[in-house]
């Protein structure tokens, strides 16, 4: 996790790019992030990392052990703390980092907690087709059907897809492109959707699968097709001359 930020999902909108294309984006408040602690491999911790704090908080709403840790680093109380290993930017406790860690065109991974859907049936939870709407299927439109195994093994199989709690789990959306970075407002506009509801906290980190400066692969050129096309165009030009 070389670079990362704590942020808050604000909502969705659309912006135009340089070519005039309309792009749907998710707006994330990604700062200011306060550097609370810097750990080094040479120190007592034995590894390199940076602790970031986001969203200032009243001191009386923070537990005393956590407040003592923050005060030891001469920091201020915050609502969220996240540690990023092998942070590639050189920082020290007390520094402020923000959305300028990323630039338009960079690819990021967004980590958040999905919306809680409560108790759901198998149609919503597992995309079951349900029963027939007609032909005597009365009362079986959205049910799962039989779950028993007859005499053998005589029990419900482990892992059977059934109704239950849906959502409210941590998920990571990978390879999202940064469209705009608005330093004055501490905002990052990211193409695509991010897990969570509006107002939820999210973690933005450098993409693990697409390194900085990644560009789409150039499609291979079919030399035979190109030669055939050039020959056809030359033949058309000769016919026109005649």
Q: Give the pLDDT confidence of 147-205 residue by residue, as tens digits.
A: 888 888 888 989 999 999 999 999 999 999 999 999 999 999 999 999 999 999 999 99
pLDDT of res. 125: 95
Claim to verify: residue 158 and residue 79 sit in the same structural domain: no
Q: How many domains does the chain have?
A: 2
Q: Last residue of a domain, which of 99, 131, 166? A: 166
Q: Give the pLDDT confidence of 118-136 residue by residue, as tens digits.
A: 999 999 999 999 888 888 8
What's the chain's average pLDDT?
Answer: 90
What is the C-alpha to C-alpha distance for residues 28 and 200, in angstroms, rounded to an integer? 10
What is the C-alpha to C-alpha distance for residues 121 and 115, in angstroms, rounded to an integer? 16
* Other residues' Cβ atoms within 10 Å of the Cβ of residue 62: 17
> DSSP state, 101?
G
CATH number at residue 48: 2.40.30.10
pLDDT of res. 233: 86
pLDDT of res. 242: 67
Q: Give the pLDDT confidence of 4-27 residue by residue, as tens digits.
A: 999 999 999 999 988 889 999 999
pLDDT of res. 43: 86
pLDDT band at 223 (very low <50, low <70, confident <90, very high): confident
Count of CA atoms in the C-beta half-sphere (13 A) of 225: 3
Residue 1 has pLDDT above 90, yes or no: no
Residue 77 lies in a domain: yes
Please identify which residue in the block is written with the tokens 């897809």.
Answer: 161
Number of H-type helices and E-type strands within the chain: 3, 12
Residues 6+ apart with CB under 8 A from 105: 177, 178
pTM over cut 0.85: no
Domain encompassing residue 197: 4-116+167-214
Claim to verify: residue 199 and residue 126 sit in the same structural domain: no
Residue 236 lies in a domain: no
């Amino acid at each position: 996790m070389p670079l990362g930020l704590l942020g808050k999902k604000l909502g969705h909108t659309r912006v135009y790019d340089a070519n005039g294309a309309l792009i749907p984006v998710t707006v994330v408040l990604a700062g200011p992030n306060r550097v609370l602690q810097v750990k080094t491999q040479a120190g007592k911790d034995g590894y390199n990392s940076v602790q970031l704090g986001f969203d200032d908080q009243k001191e009386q709403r923070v537990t005393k052990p956590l407040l003592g840790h923050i005060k030891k680093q001469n920091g201020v109380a915050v609502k969220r703390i996240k540690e990023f290993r092998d942070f590639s930017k050189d920082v020290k406790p007390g520094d402020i980092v923000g959305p300028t860690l990323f630039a338009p065109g960079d690819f990021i991974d967004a980590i958040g907690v999905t919306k809680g859907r409560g108790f759901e049936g198998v149609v919503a939870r597992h995309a079951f087709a349900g029963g027939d709407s007609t032909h005597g299927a009365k009362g079986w439109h959205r049910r799962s059907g039989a779950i028993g195994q007859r005499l053998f093994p005589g029990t419900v199989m482990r892992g059977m897809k059934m109704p239950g709690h849906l959502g409210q789990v941590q998920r990571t959306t990978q390879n999202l492109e940064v469209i705009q970075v608005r330093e004055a407002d501490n905002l990052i506009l990211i193409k695509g959707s991010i897990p969570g509801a509006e107002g939820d906290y999210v973690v933005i980190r450098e993409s693990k699968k697409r390194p900085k400066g990644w560009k789409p692969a150039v499609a291979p050129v079919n030399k035979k097709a190109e030669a055939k096309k050039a020959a056809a165009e030359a033949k058309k030009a000769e016919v026109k001359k005649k």
